[in-house]
Structure 1
Amino acid sequence: MASIRQHTATLLLPTVFFGYAIYANSTMIFAAAGSEAEAAQVNDLSLSYVIDGEATRDLDALYKSELPHRDAAVGVIGNARYALLGSGRKGVIVGDDGWFFTGEEFKRVKPTEIESAVSQIGEVRKKLADAGIELVMVPLPAKSDIYTEHLPDMMRNDAMMTAYGDFSTALKQAGMTVVDTRTAMLAAKPHDDVFLKSDTHWTPAGARVTAEAVQKTFQQSGILLASEQVTASWQTPVDVWGDLTKYITSPDYAPRVGLKPESVPIYRTSVAEAEGSGDIFGNDASVPVMLVGTSYSANENWSFTDFLRQTLSSDVVNVAKEGLGPGVPMMDLLEGQVLADTPPSVIVWEFPVRYLGTDTLWTRKTNAGNGGHHGPVGEGNV
């Protein structure tokens, strides 16, 4: 049965929102009416102006640029929704004790989607093998899988656990080298959080145990690297507002409902250049290991590259990219000049399973006509 608080919130939030909307829109109208110079530049309100979508675009731009108190409204409405209903905007799942999850982690991946992904990865592996490069796959489990106990009861399912297991099994059956990161994270979580509570990404602790699992897989698979001297140190921690907190409220207002940034320790490494390395001209552009992947690897706050260097005792070149998923950065790498200019012995491919089955797994999101599109591997695009 719904509580009195929930009934009150159900009535209060729409009232606050629409009351603010009336005030804000009237403010914009009076402001616009007071400027004859700006009014002279407004498009004619013709039928074509509306049908062609120009009116919608102009209105959207007006709201984004002119809406008064926009940031305050986002914060106040977000705080009220979180405090009264324990929820956020569409896209975030609110768990207990400040644990937030992305809605992307609750879909069930179809067997055909896994089969398609493994087929594409097989094409990548073949191309790399032709260039003398070994591929090591690092599938990453979903946060909702590792910390399912913090989810609301109605949101708990085995979709991401199943996707991880089926994907890893299919990769191994295709003859690929696969790192078992899920087992490593489950073993480490009693000792330290391996994912950030308010963010979609892992903590440095999660990155570290994954790097250790990669090193273990190298050893078991007989992948040998020349040992290099790696020095490491912990740096001053940084405060990070979780990307999922922004689906609840704005950072300026978050502390008022008990939300706060998370402190992230920073780990940094450096590799000493080996004596006598390089050719007779002192040039050697090859690298032992290249890291490809998503923001789990690209964002330096998580220190994954540094943990890899430390555990592998070898240099690692990071070509991961943020905001593109795991597939597009690999497509960019294969289509570019980096592999020819800086050929690695091994490529480590970090691949979160929550991206399986997404429309943009292998293609970059673009505006129509700008030509920034990747097609599937094996169709003449590599």
Structure 2
Amino acid sequence: MPSLRQYTSLLLLPTTFFGYALYANSALLMNAASPEAQASEAKDLSLSYVIDGEATRDLDTLYKNELPHRAASVGLFGNARYALLGAGRKGVIVGEDGWFFSAEEFKNVSRADIDAAVDRIADVQRDLDARGIRLVLAPLPAKSDIYSEEVPSLVRGPAMAETYNAFAAALKDKGIVTADTRQALLAAKPFGEVFLKSDTHWSPSGAKATAEAVQTSLQVAGIALPSESVTAQWQTPVSLWGDLTKFVTSPDYAPTVGLTQESVPIYRTTVNAAAEGADIFGDDTAVPVMLVGTSYSANENWSFADFLRQSLRADVVNVAKEGLGPGVPMMDLLAGVALDETTPTVVVWEFPIRYLGTKTLWQRDGDAKAGGGNV
């Protein structure tokens, strides 16, 4: 005959589960019934609201955003999944020795997608040529390519290396000046990590190697820039959680499974105004180099614009944008007035190849127009 302890054990788990469910849903109902919630989330509770699925979406959002202890649950479950299975949520590939990779870097890009992108880039070059501006493209290889040895063997493959080589070759066939960033990153790799382990982005070492590759491509193409005096210095490193960590667990719980923040040294450069040969008529808006691209350039933590300034010995104006991929910032630049106001000699376009083949490469998400864009 079962003992009292056995009865207690059998009843404890379901009682705890249903008790928490009652508490959590009561909290949700109380929050939803508050005057503030009703004022901000007033809904037409019609039959179509349910049939069209809007009610289900709203309920799902409510549970995701308002469920008590959600953050703790996400962190603890993520820790357990990472510790026991060595895996994260959809969107991340967990590699060896704490290396994380974006799932976007494990795809096959068709030749048609490559050719379509190169044709569009050639159109951009013609537009810039008409303005008397030279284009230099810096295609960025995938982190999963540069650190393929850290990728799990089940998903390891040559797809992204082949995509980079095909893209770079097609660009050169169109006469577009192209920096060989892949070889530069591979050459710099033995001297320090060129990508951050838990982030999609490069390290300052990777940014520096890429800037030097851009400078080499200008030399080979015979593009000369007036040499300027540049002052540079390292600043105090910043600590940050890699953007791929959130696909594994929450930052509050990450240290308990051995995950740590990235320490990123900051590099800053300034052009010596006295050595610039400033226009005596007061026209000081002209900057020889304009940088356009993605968060690899826009985020100042990576110091790419500063390394570019030092490598080229020229001032650089940075118009890159975060969260839009490589195509949209260039389309915005061509449609705006910055080129006319700044009159650069060269535009450096930083272009991660993992965006090739995406439907929103040249237009913002949800924008039906063919000309503007986002990734």
TM-score, normalisation: structure 1: 0.88
Which residue of the other structure, out of 26, 29, 33, is the alignment partner of 2:25?
A: 29
Distance in 2, matches of 1:298 and 1:36, equals 39
> Conserved in 2, the CA contact under 8 Å of 1:120 and 1:376?
no
Moved more, 32-41 or 293-302: 32-41
1:265 paired residue number = 265
> Conserved in 2, the CA contact under 8 Å of 1:294 and 1:324?
yes
CA distance 1:159–1:277, shift in 2 (3 Å): same
Residue 303 of structure 1: CA displacement?
A: 0.4
1:6 paired residue number = none
> Conserved in 1, the CA contact under 8 Å of 2:228 and 2:276?
no
Is 1:112 the equivalent of 2:112? yes
1:306 paired residue number = 306
> Conserved in 1, the CA contact under 8 Å of 2:141 and 2:353?
yes
1:126 paired residue number = 126
> Conserved in 2, the CA contact under 8 Å of 1:233 and 1:267?
yes
User: Which amino acid letter does the alignment assign opposite residue 26 of structure 1?
Assistant: L
Q: Match of 1:189, SS?
A: helix
User: Which amino acid letter does the alignment assign opposite residue 279 of structure 2?
Assistant: G
> Conserved in 2, the CA contact under 8 Å of 1:204 and 1:303?
yes
Unaligned runs of 5+ in 1: 1-15, 367-371, 378-382
2:158 paired residue number = 158
User: Which amino acid letter does the alignment assign opposite residue 296 of structure 1?
Assistant: Y
Q: How many residues align?
A: 355
2:279 paired residue number = 278
> Conserved in 2, the CA contact under 8 Å of 1:194 and 1:202?
yes
Residue 23 of structure 1: CA displacement?
A: 5.8
Moved more, 69-78 or 48-57: 48-57
Q: Match of 1:137, SS?
A: strand
Distance in 2, matches of 1:22 and 1:131, equals 69
2:9 paired residue number = none
**Per-residue CA shift, 1:26-82, capped at 9, x if unaligned?**
324323556896499575754222023331243134224421001101100000000
Aligned-residue Cα RMSD (Å) equals: 2.3
Distance in 1, matches of 2:250 and 2:32, equals 35
Distance in 2, matches of 1:149 and 1:322, equals 29
Is 1:192 the equivalent of 2:188? no
1:380 paired residue number = none
2:370 paired residue number = 375
Distance in 1, matches of 2:98 and 2:321, equals 28
CA distance 1:33–1:126, shift in 2 (3 Å): closer
2:248 paired residue number = 248
2:5 paired residue number = none
> Conserved in 1, the CA contact under 8 Å of 2:271 and 2:314?
yes
Alignment of 1:223-238 (within 5 A): 223-238=223-238
CA distance 1:62–1:346, shift in 2 (3 Å): same
> Conserved in 2, the CA contact under 8 Å of 1:292 and 1:319?
yes
1:140 paired residue number = 140
**Per-residue CA shift, 1:248-297, capped at 9, x if unaligned?**
000000000000001111000111224652252x1232210000111110
User: Which amino acid letter does the alignment assign opposite residue 256 of structure 2?
Assistant: R
CA distance 1:275–1:128, shift in 2 (3 Å): closer
CA distance 1:32–1:303, shift in 2 (3 Å): closer
> Conserved in 1, the CA contact under 8 Å of 2:229 and 2:276?
no
Distance in 2, matches of 1:288 and 1:110, equals 36
1:77 paired residue number = 77
Distance in 2, matches of 1:37 and 1:150, equals 50
TM-score, normalisation: structure 2: 0.89
Alignment of 1:65-104 (within 5 A): 65-104=65-104
Distance in 2, matches of 1:260 and 1:212, equals 30
Aligned-pair identity (%): 63
Alignment of 1:3-82 (within 5 A): 25-31=21-27, 38=34, 46-82=46-82
Moved more, 82-91 or 270-279: 270-279
Distance in 2, matches of 1:121 and 1:19, equals 62
> Conserved in 1, the CA contact under 8 Å of 2:28 and 2:67?
no
Residue 116 of structure 1: CA displacement?
A: 0.2
Q: Match of 2:76, SS?
A: helix
Is 1:292 the equivalent of 2:287? no
CA distance 1:23–1:324, shift in 2 (3 Å): farther
> Conserved in 1, the CA contact under 8 Å of 2:204 and 2:303?
yes
Distance in 2, matches of 1:44 and 1:96, equals 51
Q: Match of 2:84, SS?
A: helix
Unaligned runs of 5+ in 2: 1-12
> Conserved in 2, the CA contact under 8 Å of 1:331 and 1:374?
no
Distance in 2, matches of 1:352 and 1:37, equals 47
Residue 209 of structure 1: CA displacement?
A: 0.7
